[in-house]
Chains A and B, each alone.
Chain A
Amino acid sequence: MLSAGHANSWRVSGGRIMTAIRCLWIAAFIILLCGLTPNRAAASGPTRQGAPAANPSSSDVDQGKQSFEARCSTCHGLDGGGAMGPNIQAIPMRLGAAVVAGVIKNGMSGGMPSFAGQLDDSQIQQVIAYLLTLTHKDSGTVTGDPAKGKEVYDGSGCATCHIISGQGSGAGPELTKVGQLRGPGYLKTTLLYPGSDLPQTRVFLESGGMLEYMFVHIITKDGHTFDGTRASEDSFRIVIQDVSGQFHSFQKSDLREFNKEPGKSVMPSFKGKLTDTQIDDLVAYLASLKGDQ
């Protein structure tokens, strides 16, 4: 049913694109609201200063680890990698401390209980501080020239897949704040070996864990080939996004071949394509992106 039309793929019509974009904007707005409102409230209050997640001491992290192991590990595993519930290792980095604090405090759909009354605000911040240490950031050092790096970025086709401050197209991860999220060493490794630390998911399963970033190769029963990253999947269907950003959905029963290739990225490696200096400059540019206007 889903795989109607040419080549068993479902092409998004213009109207649907607009609807999808509208939905994304609404979602983004909600995330912003969730993410920003508490920050703003906190910024004017006394609690922001010395909030453990923002500026944690090692004892905060230790306390957070203890709280996490006592309260959270049955569902999320001792290392946040999932157990009865989902892998949440990268969630604080992606959603921010304020959103995560809200989830811990209020619970959420899917079985996450409210910890209000069990963990106070500073304990919650300690847990988040601990979780942030689980994310691979690798600070490293910047050696290149960010201005030259921007020229490398503009000249290497990066903007065909990435968005920075609204410029570019969006099949790949947005990079507007990538310098805040990832260190120079990490960025360099990713440019050379794009599959080395693929991000976890976009789809958050209720309790079956998360769908990891996954390269998928598909051949339909009528002989059409599709490659892309998994946008969504259930036991009967799969949606992939090709390198142009187009979505294609399929009934698995309509496929002749359906191969997942973990560890493969659609991003090309720039090893050998750019000089060492260009790579360092590009890293310097990306590391400078902190989301400032």
Chain B
Amino acid sequence: MKIFPYALMLSGLLAWGPAASVAQSVSYDRILHSQSEPQSWLTYGGSYSSQQYSSLKQINRENISSLKVAWIYQPSKAVSNLEASPIVADGVMYITEPPSTVTALDLRTGLKLWSWSPVLPEHVVSIGLYATSRGVAILGDTVFIGTADSHLVALDAKNGAVRWDVHVADNAMGYAMTGPPLAIKDEVIIGSAGSEAAVRGFLDAYDAKTGKRLWRFWTTPRPGEPGAETWGVGASESAGATTWNNGSYDPELNLVYWGTGNPAPDFNDDERPGDNLYTCSVIALDADTGQLKWYFQFSPHEDHDWDSDEPAVLFNATIDGKPRKLLGFANRNGFYYVLDRATGKFIAGQPFVKETWAKGLDATGRPIPEPNQEPTLGAGTLVYPSITGGVDWTSPSYSPQTGLFYVSVHETGAYFIKGQGKIEPGPPKGIVGGGGIRALAGEQSYGAIRALEATTGKLRWQFKLMAPAWVPVLTTAGGLVFSGSDEGNFFALDASTGKPLWQFYMGHAARSNPISYEVDGKQYIFETAGNAYIAFTLP
């Protein structure tokens, strides 16, 4: 009689042993070599290269049709706009619940282990954005989150206890954090949103152990500083270029790559003549000092709200017989760019959606503007792409298996209208937009998943979607592309052909990075929708 329960316990232990040793910690070295542990998902984009690629292939073209829901987690309090990429390490999944709650889930069951929420002010200022979180970073045994009121908080990964809490920027002025931090070496890098509140953008690095600020790079200059001349003579304020998403990192070059947002006011450029550095750019900073090594401005003197806050995708490829370290960027302005990531030099680029504002790119990658494409008073100017851009912030994916760059695109234009736009001192009273847009009526817009040749931007295939979708992309070594529709579909396409192989109706649009990980020898695919965090696996 006594043997029987014992046997049960033993078999239970065999089946339900710890998924991994909880004593492990996520060292910098582990994140550096994340490709060697595909069972984990250690950064926002899966690796420092932000490729949104998993080398797991248990789920593949042949068996994808039987993919099923394994578990669903829903927060006790209804939340919306789940935009976080989970971090998966050592049997635990770390998610965020908007606006700024961090929750740890048991990877195998989806059961909640702990949860932490900051005490937010009664009215969090969120101008030009909604208070959400795109997730945490992990380093050692600490997870880090940027909060809606612009604090960077370090939590014990085992129980959510606060290690330190740094007030990074003044939320009352419009600074708000939505992007995930990036943890490298012994530092945590984070930016902030707030361009529509006309804040001055920056990127910060903090000591991971103490929270002490190590460096700050202001993304717009003050008079007398380099780049001030690109804001016109006498321009005393240079606002915008906020850094509200995640960046990438090349350890060999020791460079951090981060996208920057629009100048303020968005649509009225009267008081900011010039290129307005370093708005709508990708900046490459020395990881130790925060010094600017190079920048590439996609949209000089931008006035259509085409931020460049999508994570930069790092990949290596051979061009003209030479191996190159490259950076791929499907920009909100409608052009796909390939840059040399050591120097920032332009290599190739072409539109990946319909665009009407530029004749093309010159030899340096600078756009050759079409005339009369600026926002105008009254009825406005019809320009493609719309304010939503060819793609906004949602991560694209690069598959080393196919050499293709996959992006969920918006095919739509809009009437851009210029209005009053003057930056007033003091706390913002509303959006400092200086105009706005009118959408095209009817169903003239659509979305698509497009596969581009990563080194050229040439279209290889597309899978059309009914509406422009705001859904990131994942590719896997199983030859699959995962993404979603704004109508609520989550689907898998053949990475080589774009043929749809599987779809699941989640009932609400996905917004988070789809990710993949492995537990108990089984590969999982993970996505969010509405109020639900959903893990999929094979039966």
Contact mask for chain A residues 104-117; partner B; CB cutoff 8 A; 1 contact, 0 none:
00011111110011
Q: How many residues of A contact B (CB 8 A)?
A: 38
B317-340 interface (Cβ within 8 A of A): none
**CB contacts between A and B, total, < 8 Å:** 124
Select one of B122, B130, B487 contacting A205, CB under 8 A. B487
CB atoms of A87 and B488 under 8 A apart? no
CB atoms of A71 and B417 under 8 A apart? no
Which of A44-52, A76-84, A219-227 contacts the other chain? Answer: A76-84
- CB contacts (< 8 Å) of A79 on chain B: these are 438
Select one of B437, B467, B530 contacting A83, CB under 8 A. B437
Give B415 Cβ to nearest chain A Cβ, in Å: 9
CB atoms of B431 and A84 under 8 A apart? no
- CB contacts (< 8 Å) of A276 on chain B: these are none
CB atoms of B81 and A235 under 8 A apart? no
- CB contacts (< 8 Å) of B302 on chain A: these are none
Candidate in B414, B439, B442, B489 with the most chain A CB atoms within 10 angstroms: B439
Q: Once bound together, how far apart are the Cα atoms of A212 and B466, in whole Å? A: 13
Q: Once bound together, how far apart are the Cα atoms of A237 and B469, in whole Å? A: 16
- CB contacts (< 8 Å) of B442 on chain A: these are 212, 262
CB atoms of A234 and B505 under 8 A apart? yes
CB atoms of A78 and B417 under 8 A apart? yes
B454 within 8 A of A: no
Q: Once bound together, how far apart are the Cα atoms of A185 and B415, in whole Å? A: 30
Contact mask for chain A residues 88-125; partner B; CB cutoff 8 A; 1 contact, 0 none:
00000000000000000001111111001110000000
CB atoms of B438 and A260 under 8 A apart? no
Q: Once bound together, how far apart are the Cα atoms of A214 and B442, in whole Å? A: 10
Select one of A73, A206, A208 contacting B436, CB under 8 A. A73
CB atoms of B122 and A83 under 8 A apart? no
CB atoms of A234 and B388 under 8 A apart? no
CB atoms of B387 and A234 under 8 A apart? no
B78 within 8 A of A: yes
- CB contacts (< 8 Å) of B305 on chain A: these are 74
- CB contacts (< 8 Å) of B388 on chain A: these are 83-84
Contact mask for chain A residues 190-211; partner B; CB cutoff 8 A; 1 contact, 0 none:
0000000000000001111100
CB atoms of B438 and A77 under 8 A apart? yes
CB atoms of A233 and B486 under 8 A apart? no
Q: Once bound together, how far apart are the Cα atoms of A212 and B444, in whole Å? A: 11
B508 within 8 A of A: yes
Given A74-B128, A110-B81; A209-B467 close (CB under 8 Å): yes
Q: Once bound together, how far apart are the Cα atoms of A73 and B443, in whole Å? A: 20
CB atoms of A235 and B485 under 8 A apart? yes
Give A12 Cβ to nearest chain B Cβ, in Å: 18
B386 within 8 A of A: yes
A62 within 8 A of B: no
- CB contacts (< 8 Å) of A207 on chain B: these are 470, 486, 509
CB atoms of A234 and B531 under 8 A apart? no
Give A68 Cβ to nearest chain B Cβ, in Å: 10
A135 within 8 A of B: no
> What 6 A-B pairs come out closest when comparing CB atoms?
A117-B123, A70-B430, A208-B467, A234-B487, A208-B486, A78-B436
User: Residues of B at under 8 Å CB distance from A?
Assistant: 78, 80-81, 122-123, 126, 128-132, 196, 305, 386-388, 414, 417, 419, 429-431, 433, 435-439, 441-443, 445, 447, 464-470, 485-489, 491, 500, 503, 505, 508-509, 530-531
User: Residues of A at under 8 Å CB distance from B?
Assistant: 67, 69-71, 73-74, 77-79, 81-84, 87, 107-113, 116-118, 205-209, 212, 214, 233-237, 260, 262
What are 10 contact pairs spanning A and B, CB under 8 A?
A74-B433, A77-B414, A79-B438, A87-B439, A109-B78, A110-B80, A205-B509, A206-B486, A208-B468, A234-B485
